[in-house]
Structure 1
Amino acid sequence: MRRGNILSGGAFTAALLSLGAFMAVLLALGAILYIVLSGAMERDVDNQLLEEEQLFLQIYDRYGQQALVDAIGQMETPAVAGRRVAGLFDADGRRLAGNLDTLPLSEGWMTLEFNQLLPRPNGLYRLHASSTTPLDGAATLVVGYNIRVLQRTEWQLLYSLLLAGAAVTIASIAAGYAVSRRMFGKLEAMSETLEAVSRGDMAVRIPVSSLNDQIDRIAQRINAHIDRLAVLSDITRNTVNTIAHDLRSPLGRISLEVQQAMVETTGDARLQERMESVLAELEGVTGAFDAIMRISRIRASAGEADFSVVFVAELLAEMQETFTPLLEDMGQRLVCDADLFRGLAVFGDAPMLRQALANLVQNAGRHCPPGTTVTLDAAEDGEGAVVLRVCDDGPGIPADRRSDVLLPFHRVEGGQPAPGSGLGLALVSAVAVRHDASLALSDNGPGLAVSIRFPPRAKINIL
């Protein structure tokens, strides 16, 4: 299962779009929440500072200056220092009390950074300075609060939002990948089933899960169509087989009658010639019926119970031994060096493979003129697939007609006239489909090259 196909699936894309929308909403809500919370905490600090300032002034009004100095001096205790600051400064800016050593340059609200260059406070403080009249003259009272705590709260809020966004992102991507993987698996199973049906295997069906989602419902409908197609295919195949089988017997009897009539009319040369022509036509029709039945049996077979390791060198050597004399009688020659292919083997039905190669060699000899060279070849490509090839240097087949000749009863007009029913390549195509192999017709420059490429398998032990 290719990961690229999963990541580009509709479910994963929908998950990414949903994640993008969620993150946009999360960012907007986070920004609003941050602004609102930050403003609320700042107002709360301001109110506390104003209350504290009023409390110091009330202490002075009720108990005098020493009470105010003592109250402000409590800011120097370790429990308070670092969180709160306060200072009372005279008109010349000298500290009279408190843990704030420096008088701010202006009055009102301000935010100042106190660092370790100053003796006591350290941090970012929100300050409020106002003029007052204690100690028998003008003075300035300053109160402040360390807002680092507020900043930490704000950062924790941002961190929580980022953590939530990351968690949702990971969960969305994982869920989208899981759903897309499941859907892609179902689509792969659907594709494999339809491909098997196209090869003639009407027993396969698309698996349907208990979820009964949209793909499952589509799979159920496709399975119903395959059921109907299987019934129609069985009816058609049985009808054709029945017709072919039922006609073989009378055709055989007619052939025998013609042969007997030829014996009884040996004196009439003209009648003998016509009977020989009739007998040849009968043999052609009988051969066509036999080919139809063979193709039907090949398409109806399934599984690999009859498959075994077939050594390419032995298979090609057998073809060479069988057809070399036949092609020589036609003024042609067959070329094959079987020893070159002793390291190659395929897994398949040996009789079917022999029939396919025999049909290809016979087709080459039948449709090519004298002097043609037919070559049997084999190779292993870069993906580990074994390719069997039958090539000739004859007239070849036009590129726009090569797919047509694989159809039953189709023949290319013109070129070398030859008998036949147009079922040879159709049978080869059925054998290729039976082995999950691909059949290709290409230009041999000159001539035609027919290749059967078997799918890559684990290395076959040929020792």
Structure 2
Amino acid sequence: MSVTASMRRGNILSGGAFTAALLSLSAFMVVLLALGVILYAVLSGAMERDVDEQLIEETELFRQIYDRYGQQALVDAIGQLETPAVAGRRMAGLFDAGGRRLAGNLDTLPLSEGWMTLEFDQLLPRPNGLYRLHASGIASPDVTATLVVGYNIRVLQQAEWRLLYALMLAGVAVTAASVVAGYAVSRRMFSKLETMSGTLEAVSRGDTAARIPVSRLDDQIDRIAQRINAHIERLAVLSDITRNTINTIAHDLRLPLGRAFLEVQQATSEMADDARARGRMENVLAELESVNGTFDAIMRISRIRASGGQAGLSTVSVPDVLAEMQETFAPLLEDAGQRLICKPEASRGLTVLGDEPMLRQALANLVQNASRHCPAGTTVTLDAMKEEDGAMVLRVCDDGLGIPADRRYDVLLPFHRVESEKPVPGTGLGLALVSAIAVRHDASLVLSDNRPGLAVSIRFPPRSKINIL
């Protein structure tokens, strides 16, 4: 069984519906137990009273026979209980004053008179079992005797056991039905919640067209889903308005900025004699180029977040991408007094499903960001690995100053920049662009402590779990 399947079953079993079913089952079992005790006590008492009443009636009948017809008539009447048809169910015995058996299928006189319950295994003619007995004296002017009558109550015990067995079967059946029903309902609710979670995750990744399916049952989850869909609809409208506004502003500003850039560039080329004016115009040209790059980055992030599905994705060779990064940036870092460690051959055979230009852009941004914010002598490491669950991880690590743990989330936000001792050029969009690329690939972007320095990891899920928007 896979870990995912175990977690899924664990979530179902801990669901509200299954918990409610278990609580209802517990209450039912308590009621069933109390009802069983009451029924057992009532039934047992009622059957014992019936037996006692029958024994009293038989004792009175035998007394009347003795009083009217004498001892021999009583002996003959008791003798009828010795027949095989009767001997297994009923018992009687007549004993003289010395304890000698005069008649009946009971060969031994009980030690006391009154009510008793005894187990027999040597009765005549073998009506053995558990008996309810009543012994009483019979006195007359001529003779004194003891009359014992009994009834086999094994049948009563069997009836009591059958009642307990029936209650037990009812409890088992109700338990099984409750567990199955609770699991089925909890599984259905968990499936809905899982779908709801997947939809919200898709919305958080930029797919504002995603909606939670609503069934015809119109239960509580369906009504919540309808309300969430309404909020997503409003959020989609606001998001579209915001995105269109940003894109429009960026697009409209790029044109005049582009024209201004060209004009300044032309003016700079014509100022061959005025070095001071030429220097200022070159500064203006650099600023315009920076603004133009900012708008390019904004529009690139917007396009990445708006893209979805697996269109444009293919199997990318990780060693090839690392080799290209090494060839491009190793000389640049060397010029800055830094060193890039990258061993593409160590990741031979590793692939990832993605957009290769985007992946190259993400790694380039991370390597440039590490070089830009680290001093001379820093070592930047670029590598890749495959985890046990099949996830692919691309990492860019440095041994520089790093970023405090409480600031690592902020640097992923657009236009946010880490304060440093020396001014560092840039727009604050590099890591935001990497974050957008990670989201596009359903990957997670993790910033951690490299001790010293910063480690940035892009973790791609296993192929079987990829859910590209």
Q: Structure 2-normalised TM-score?
A: 0.93
AA of the residue aligned to 1:346: V
For the residue of structure 2 that corresponds to 1:295, the secondary structure is: helix
What SS does the corresponding residue of 1:2 show, helix, strand or coil? helix
| Shift in alpha-carbon separation, 1:210–1:135, aligned structure 2, 3 A | farther
Q: 1:372 aligns with which of 370, 373, 378?
A: 378
Report whether the alignment pairs 1:349 with 2:355.
yes
Contact 2:340 2:382 in 1 (8 A): yes
1:31 and 2:33 matched = no
Is the contact made by 2:82 and 2:124 (CA closer than 8 Å) also made in structure 1? no
The equivalent of 2:3 in structure 1 is: none
State which of 138, 147, 160 in structure 2 corresponds to 1:154. Answer: 160
Instruction: Give the match for residue 387 of structure 1.
Output: 393
The aligned residue for residue 262 of structure 2 is: 256
Partner of residue 69, structure 1: 75
**Cα RMSD for the two superposed structures:** 2.0
Partner of 2:336: 330
1:248, distance to aligned residue in structure 2 (A): 0.9
The correspondence of residues 97-246 of structure 1 with structure 2, limited to 5 A, is: 97-116=103-122, 120-133=126-139, 136-246=142-252
Q: State which of 296, 301, 311 in structure 1 corresponds to 2:307.
A: 301
444, 463, 466: which one aligns with 1:438: 444
Distance 1:130 1:427, change over 3 A: same
CA contact (8 A) 1:209 1:216 kept: yes
Structure 1: gaps (5+ residues):
none
Do the aligned residues in 2 keep the contact of 1:65 with 1:134 (CA within 8 Å)? no
C-alpha separation between the residues in 2 aligned to 1:434 and 1:51?
93
Matched, 1:276 2:282: yes
Alpha-carbon contact 2:199-2:212 (below 8 Å) kept: yes
Cα distance, 1:23–1:159 mapped onto 2, change above 3 Å: same
1:382, distance to aligned residue in structure 2 (A): 2.9
Kindly state the Cα deviation for residue 119 of structure 1 after the two structures are TM-superposed: 5.8
Matched, 1:407 2:413: yes
Q: Which amino acid aligns with 1:252?
A: G
The alpha-carbon deviation at position 117 of structure 1 amounts to: 7.5
Letter in 2 for 1:70: D
How far apart, CA to CA, are the structure 1 residues paired with 2:378 and 2:37? 83
Cα deviation 1:315-371 (Å, max 9, x = unaligned): 111111222333334333322111111121111111111111111122222223333
Q: Is the 8 A contact 2:107 2:123 kept in 1?
A: no
* Aligned amino acid, residue 412 of structure 1: V
**1:4 aligns to what SS in structure 2?**
helix
The structure 1 residue matched to 2:54, chosen from 36, 48, 67, is 48
Quote the residue 1:58 is aligned against: 64
Do the aligned residues in 1 keep the contact of 2:106 with 2:123 (CA within 8 Å)?
no
Instruction: Show the counterpart of 2:4.
Output: none
Question: What SS does the aligned partner of 1:80 have?
Answer: helix
Question: Cα offset for 1:211?
Answer: 1.5
Q: Is the 8 A contact 1:367 1:415 kept in 2?
A: no
On the 8 A contact 1:65/1:135 being kept in 2, the answer is no
In structure 2, how many angstroms separate the alpha carbons of the residues matched to 1:198 and 1:165?
47
CA pair 80-134 structure 1, distance change in 2 beyond 3 A: farther
Could you tell me whether the CA contact under 8 Å between 1:313 and 1:341 is conserved in 2?
Answer: yes
Further displaced range: 228-237 or 177-186 = 177-186
For the residue of structure 2 that corresponds to 1:130, the secondary structure is strand
- Hey, what does 1:398 align to over in structure 2? 404
Q: How far 1:65 moved relative to its partner?
A: 3.6
Identity fraction in percent: 80
1:422 maps to 428
Q: Distance in 2 between matches of 1:441 and 1:430?
A: 15
Contact persistence 1:394–1:446 (CA under 8 A): yes
1:398–1:90 Cα change, 3 Å: closer
Q: Can you give the 5+ residue segments of structure 2 that lack an aligned partner in the other structure?
A: 1-6
SS, match of residue 87 in structure 2: coil
Q: Deviations over 1:384-414 (max 9, x none)?
A: 2111111223333233222111100111122
Structure 1 residues 23-53: Cα deviation after superposition (integer angstroms, max 9, x where no partner): 1111112111111111111111111112222
Q: CA deviation at 1:236?
A: 0.5
The aligned residue for residue 81 of structure 1 is: 87
Distance 1:216 1:164 in 2: 35
